[in-house]
Amino acid sequence: MLSRVANSIYWLSRYMERAENVARFIDVNLQMMLDLPSGLNEQWQPLVSISGDEVGFQKRYTAPTRENVIKFLALDSENPNSILSCFRAARENARTVREVISSELWEQVNTSYLTVTAAAAGPTLVYSPHVLFTEVKKASHLFDGVAEATMLHGEGWHFYRMGRMLERADKTSRLLDVKYFILLPSLSDVGTPLDDIQWAAVLRSASALEMYRKRHGHIVPEDIVEFLVLDGEFPRSIDFCLGAANYSLHAISGTPIGTYHNSAEQRLGQLRAELAYTDRQQIMSRGLHEFLDALQTKLNLVDQGVFETFFALRPLGSDAPDRAGQ
Amino acid sequence: MKFELYETADFYDEMFISDSTPRAGAQLLAERIEALPDGELLARQAAAESLLLQNGITFNVYNDSAATEKIFPFDVIPRIIEAAEWEWIEKGLKQRVYALNLFIDDIYHQQKIVKDKVVPEYLIQSASSFRKECVGLNPPQNIWCHITGTDLVRDRDGQMYVLEDNLRCPSGVSYVLENRRIMKRTFPQVFEASRVRPVDEYPSRLLSTLQSLFPVAMDSPKVAVLTPGIYNSAYYEHSFLAQQMGVELVEGRDLVAVNNRIMMRTTKGFQPVDVLYRRIDDDFLDPQVFRADSLLGVPGLMEIYKRGRLALANAPGTGIADDKSIYAYVPKIIEYYLGEKILIPNVPTYICAEPKELAHVIGNLDKLVVKAVNESGGYGMLVGPHAAPEERAEFARRIQENPRNYIAQPTLGLSRVPVVSNGRVVGRHVDLRPYVLYGSDIYVLPGGLTRVALKPGSLVVNSSQGGGSKDTWVLMH
């Protein structure tokens, strides 16, 4: 497969997953804010912080109000990671690999792009933001289902899967981090019903609440961390995502799992081993936020490894291809 | 609605003999459309347009920053060509392409036709599409123009003419296939029983043609389509053809010359390519040979091509045969190489490089259509009768400045077809671009792209100038 094509497929799925997760972020915050006791101010700055796009926000917006933040994260075409921009980038990438992906997949990407653009032009977002976010999640799920059911499960599909899973691992870690940034009214509120309500909102935003209940029952922060970070069966848990990404990575290269022949395999293998031998007490005692932060840095290194290994092929003396995508 | 208010006016109509009488081949179609419930024709038209948008069947318009991507407007009433007429068109196109290929081969070798004074030497030497780098090249089986799109028009009296030849990178065939698919989905009741010749085999014909080019005998040569990239106006078609043939779509930056082969950068290292269906102009193919500032091509490509380690379709240099002043000589070219009379006539053409003809053109700009010899897509042209006096003056200046760059032709009363417009059926001018493949034999796709000038009265059918298209039905015997 052409390196450029593999790169586009990888980013196509990353952008689609990213759009879905931005919708989930906003959704979790909306839910949490609705549950705050009256008299307290809504907190929207944290969403900007975890998105990693603070500079862009400060340049063009005065205050992190609910309206500004939602606009910035959902529909701002100048924010490269807004939902709208993600859909646009996903579609541009799909357009460059239209001959490789199935027609059905292309039509799915194209149609959802048209839907989201139309929504962006209308007043939906102000009056009923959930409508748009539900639409975005549905589009992303449909996209995943169409890819699964219509693409050859060969190299291209594995790039698709790897991109999707690495992106999801990163975003689940950020979703969990929202809770760290949202301040409770006072320290003594830790462990109160309000705290529980917020944790439940985090789970719900990861479509995880019901599955969590089956596994652990009561809302206990350590159990939630265990579920979203270490669970081997929940498809949005970080460990699950990295396992799937690793499987696809090795399917692409043909290297046996458990060994490595390139920087991507080495870094992802190390990260997986670390998770495999970590327990929740260690995560909590080190500090959840610090743990997640370090994890995100290591995920970036894996992504760099993927780029160097598969996309940046250059012959002697020629110029380097652009780092497309991100 | 439908046809009761339709007027054929003073033009040849492709569907009707007179206002209310359909042509023999269009009888069934007219009946079926008349039998549709009220509003159905419009509903089908809307459904077809929304399908095109959903499928993202679009093209890019240059000089239009607001919306760079547009759907190619599609009209649901098909254009019909009867079997006997098609047989004649097919014969005429084969004759033309066969002779033009001999011409190109001659021009890059002995130039016998020039020495015999059939085509003037100055025209060849001054042609910007003549590539001295190609002199002496021997493409496989001496075939240069593997893919040709020839534009045909019909004048008021019903006579078909060749309007121009496109031997470089003719585009539009993807719309032929997509239009048919859309037609089958939106109008099955009209389609069935009409005995229309299928067009679906084009991609596999194209693939066989391309595979037949690889100079060294080989089981399955690796074919790829070379595109300038996503911002090219025909990008959709490039990806469509690659997808339909099941081959790679590559850009210049995916390719590199290594050890006398053209290689693709893949996730598993470099892999060789044997045949490139290139959709970029000669100028941009290889910065070491042609334009040095080209970022679209591959340095070293021409050297590998010359050594026979790579096949290109079309061969570099074919543009000499679609220079619009060479076009004027095609009847003589056919007679010279084949000893035959031309089957589908040319439109009479004035070559501005000839002083006598130049004077006639300048004096009659209000009656003529003027075209730049190397432009396509409806750019660089003047439709005299429709132009403002200032535009004509501007063109007169340009022609006198560089007469070699222009030709002129009488303004034809192009034939018309019924199209759905603002809830009514009205007549609009059309042309027809059939596609010809030249590999181990010459194949003409039964059908072609019928382009419609959607603006009332307009004679310019190019998509870049507001044209649309229709499905073209060639009927079986």
Confidence of residue B60 (pLDDT cuts 50, 70, 90): low
Rounded to an integer, the average pLDDT of B384-393 is 91
Q: Do A99 and B249 touch (CB under 8 A)?
A: yes
Collect contacts of B323-326 with beta carbons under 8 A, ≥24 apart: B323/B123, B323/B127, B323/B129, B323/B373, B323/B374, B324/B164, B324/B349, B324/B371, B324/B372, B324/B373, B324/B374, B324/B407, B325/B123, B325/B127, B325/B349, B325/B351, B325/B352, B325/B353, B325/B373, B325/B404, B325/B407, B326/B119, B326/B123, B326/B127
CA distance A204 to chain B (A): 33
Predicted confidence at residue A321, as pLDDT, reads 40
Token pair 């047989």 in the structure block, residue: B87
Tell me whether B265 touches chain A (CB under 8 Å).
yes
- Report phi then psi at B449, rounded to 5: -95, 115
**Smallest Cα–Cα separation from B44: which of B190, B174, B176?**
B190
CA distance B44 to chain A (A): 20
> B443: Cβ–Cβ under 8 A, 6 or more apart, which residues?
B205, B209, B436, B437
The partner residue sitting opposite B253, judged by closest CB among A6, A310, A321, is: A321
C-alpha atoms less than 13 angstroms from C-alpha of B439 in its C-beta half-sphere = 18
ipTM: 0.74
Q: How many inter-chain contacts (A to B, CB under 8 Å) are there?
A: 70
Residues on chain B touching A106 (C-beta within 8 angstroms) = 55-56
Using CA of residue A112, residue A116, residue A119, residue A124, what is the dihedral sign?
positive
Tell me whether A324 touches chain B (CB under 8 Å).
no
Residues on chain A touching B268 (C-beta within 8 angstroms) = 1
Predicted confidence at residue B215, as pLDDT, reads 63
Q: Do A4 and B256 touch (CB under 8 A)?
A: no
| Cα–Cα dist B282/B133, whole Å | 11
The partner residue sitting opposite B267, judged by closest CB among A1, A99, A318, is: A1
The partner residue sitting opposite B254, judged by closest CB among A4, A103, A111, is: A4
pLDDT tens-digit map of B426-452: 999 999 999 999 998 999 999 999 999
The partner residue sitting opposite B55, judged by closest CB among A107, A252, A310, is: A107
- Report phi then psi at B98, rounded to 5: -60, -45
User: What is the DSSP-derived secondary structure letter of residue A310?
Assistant: I
Q: Do A315 and B56 touch (CB under 8 A)?
A: no
Rounded to an integer, the average pLDDT of B122-149 is 93
CA distance A276 to chain B (A): 29
CA distances from A227 to A192, A213, A219 (A): 21, 10, 11
Predicted confidence at residue A43, as pLDDT, reads 84
Q: Do A321 and B239 touch (CB under 8 A)?
A: no
Confidence of residue B66 (pLDDT cuts 50, 70, 90): very low
Binding-face residues of A in 176-205 toward B, CB within 8 A? none
| Cα–Cα dist B36/A73, whole Å | 49
Predicted confidence at residue A316, as pLDDT, reads 45
Q: Which amino acid is at B388?
A: A
Q: Do A107 and B256 touch (CB under 8 A)?
A: no
CA distance A192 to chain B (A): 50
Comparing A119 with B176, the larger pLDDT belongs to B176
Binding-face residues of A in 242-301 toward B, CB within 8 A? 252
Q: Do A315 and B258 touch (CB under 8 A)?
A: yes
Binding-face residues of A in 107-126 toward B, CB within 8 A? 107, 110-111, 114
**CA nearest to B298 within chain A:** A318
**CA nearest to A104 within chain B:** B55
Lowest mean pLDDT among B131-135, B218-222, B317-321: B218-222
Residues on chain A touching B264 (C-beta within 8 angstroms) = 2
Domains of chain B in start order, with CATH, are 3-80+173-198+426-474 (no CATH), 348-411 (3.30.1490.270)
- pLDDT truncated to tens, each residue of chain A (326 aa)? 899 999 999 999 999 999 999 998 888 888 788 877 777 778 888 888 888 888 999 999 999 988 899 989 998 888 999 999 999 999 989 988 888 888 899 999 999 898 888 877 777 666 777 888 888 999 999 999 999 999 999 999 999 999 999 999 999 999 898 888 876 667 777 778 888 888 888 898 888 999 999 999 999 989 999 999 999 999 999 999 999 999 999 999 999 999 999 999 999 999 999 999 999 999 999 899 999 999 999 999 999 999 999 988 655 443 434 433 33
SS3 assignment, position B275: strand
For chain A, where are the alpha helices, taking DSSP H only? 3-35, 45-51, 54-60, 66-70, 83-96, 103-121, 124-127, 129-150, 155-181, 193-205, 209-216, 221-225, 238-253, 263-276, 280-286, 288-306
Rounded to an integer, the average pLDDT of B98-103 is 97
Residues on chain A touching B54 (C-beta within 8 angstroms) = 107, 110-111, 114
Rounded to an integer, the average pLDDT of B299-314 is 93
DSSP secondary structure string, A21-75? HHHHHHHHHHHHHHHSPTTSPP--HHHHHHHT-HHHHHHH-SS--HHHHHIIIII
* Model confidence at B57: pLDDT above 80: no
Predicted confidence at residue B65, as pLDDT, reads 43
Mutation to test the B interface, candidates A1, A2, A92, A110, most B Cβ within 10 Å: A2
| Other beta carbons within 10 Å of B71 | 17
The partner residue sitting opposite B254, judged by closest CB among A2, A99, A114, is: A2
Residues on chain B touching A313 (C-beta within 8 angstroms) = 265-267, 269-270
**Smallest Cα–Cα separation from B226: which of B301, B277, B271?**
B277
Residues on chain A touching B269 (C-beta within 8 angstroms) = 313
Tell me whether A4 touches chain B (CB under 8 Å).
yes
Residues on chain B touching A142 (C-beta within 8 angstroms) = none
- Report phi then psi at A108, rounded to 5: -65, -45
Q: Which amino acid is at A220?
A: V
